[in-house]
Amino acid sequence: MSLAIVPGSFDPLTMGHLDLIRKAAKRYDEVVVAVMVNPAKRYCFDMKTRLEIARLSVADIPRVSVIADRGLLIDLYDRLGAKAVCKGWRNEEDYAYEIRMADWNRAHNPRFRTELIHSRGEFADLSSTAVRQKLLRGEIPEGWVHPNALQIVLTKLKKGESET
């Protein structure tokens, strides 16, 4: 039985993340999507909402579950008996960042294995930031998040303000 973790902030989980999760599910028997906290970030959606969006988004993918974790990824890794952490990368900047994270995690847990998966195709440029910016402009990020999660995501839609 092989288990992989797909960790992230998922603020919110996008169709790009879903593509990564599906790829991870092809390579491992079980995939745990871990909604975590990056101390360097301020979040648009609170943990409960990020978790709910993630759960609705993966509901139709077999062998994939979603958990919330506020601790360290290196600890979660051992607790779940994971074989790998799968992270996606879109460009050089992502890649350099993920290599640094992978090195840090391995330095603190020698069992830690990171599998970097390149995002290609339709969702290659998609990001949670792009979804949030669309919401801020009052636009609907249709096609960028899973249709089942769209209603919750739209609670952050900026309503037009009348000028005075």
Degrees, nearest 5: CA angle 58-95-76: 50
In the complex, the smallest distance separating the C-beta of residue 104 from ligand PNS, rounded to whole angstroms, is: 6
Q: Which amino acid is at 97?
A: Y
Q: Does residue 88 belong to the site contacting ligand PNS (CB under 6 A)?
A: no
Among 73, 131, 150, 153, indicate the residue that binds ligand PNS (CB under 6 A): 73
Among 72, 96, 124, 140, indicate the residue that binds ligand PNS (CB under 6 A): 72
Closest CA to 127 of 88, 160, 157, 96: 88
In the complex, the smallest distance separating the C-beta of residue 88 from ligand PNS, rounded to whole angstroms, is: 9
User: How many CA atoms does the CB half-sphere of 27 hold within 13 Å?
Assistant: 18
H-helix segments, 109-149:
128-136
CA distance 125 to 70: 28
Site string for ligand PNS, 23-62 (x = CB under 6 A): -------------x-x--x---------------------
Q: Which of residues 124-153 bind ligand PNS (CB under 6 A)?
A: none
Among 4, 9, 56, 144, indicate the residue that binds ligand PNS (CB under 6 A): 9
Among 4, 5, 8, 49, indicate the residue that binds ligand PNS (CB under 6 A): 8
Between the two ends of the chain, the Cα-to-Cα distance in Å is 62
Closest CA to 127 of 159, 97, 158: 97
Q: Applying CB under 6 A, which residues contact ligand PNS?
A: 7-9, 36, 38, 41, 72-73, 104
